[in-house]
Amino acid sequence: VVKRYPRYRNLGLRTIFEAFNDLADSIDFLTNLVVPSKIKYYAFRDPLTDTYNRHFLNEQLKLLRRHREIFPVGILFADIDDLKLINDTLGHKEGDRYIVRMVEVLKASLRGGDRIFRVGGDECVVLIPKANEEIMEKIIKRIKSNLEYVNKEEGLNPPLGISLGYAIWNSPEESFSEVLDKADKAMYAGKKRKSN
């Protein structure tokens, strides 16, 4: 938006042009500062859960590889049990409510520096810096305890079930995708044990 100024000393026109110029300044502020930050925010966020998305996970991995001091990093994989059944019987709106509840349980169970990323329909990956087996087991114990609390308090029917699996990413040289695959397989093994 280009500012305009009156050519002649007309008081009435000057007031109109000043108002127009104020509007031009506002539009300039919005387009140069507010809008880009909003676009950046939504580019990296999942709108349903307000967690980070898969795109931001990829960005974070580049950053993590430059910071050896945060390794080893725990990779936690989580997803909801029987979400398809919930969607088919109760509807997708209710299925979304279960996804939001799962993320709330995860958030309540994690430490301040841990990050949740929604990478699929009901699949979340959590990055846990400076982790080891003991820390991961403590977090999983907290998740199970918080899950029990949510089911008791909200009376969810069917109850919210979350399958969890983890692996430790020991160093930046190790393949992240291979470690993630281990966490994914551990999660599916846990899911299979529940169904037997």
Predicted pLDDT at 17: 55
Q: How confident is the model at residue 15 (pLDDT cuts 50, 70, 90)?
A: low
Q: Which of 11-20, 135-144, 163-172 has the lowest mean pLDDT?
A: 11-20
Measured in degrees and rounded to the nearest 5, phi and psi for residue 51 equal -95, 175
Q: Which of 59-63, 148-152, 159-163, 172-176 has the lowest mean pLDDT?
A: 59-63
3-state secondary structure of 109: helix
Measured in degrees and rounded to the nearest 5, phi and psi for residue 73 equal -115, 130
pTM: 0.79
Question: Which residues, at least 6 apart from 48, have a Cβ–Cβ distance to it below 8 Å?
Answer: 96, 99, 100, 118
Q: How confident is the model at residue 119 (pLDDT cuts 50, 70, 90)?
A: very high
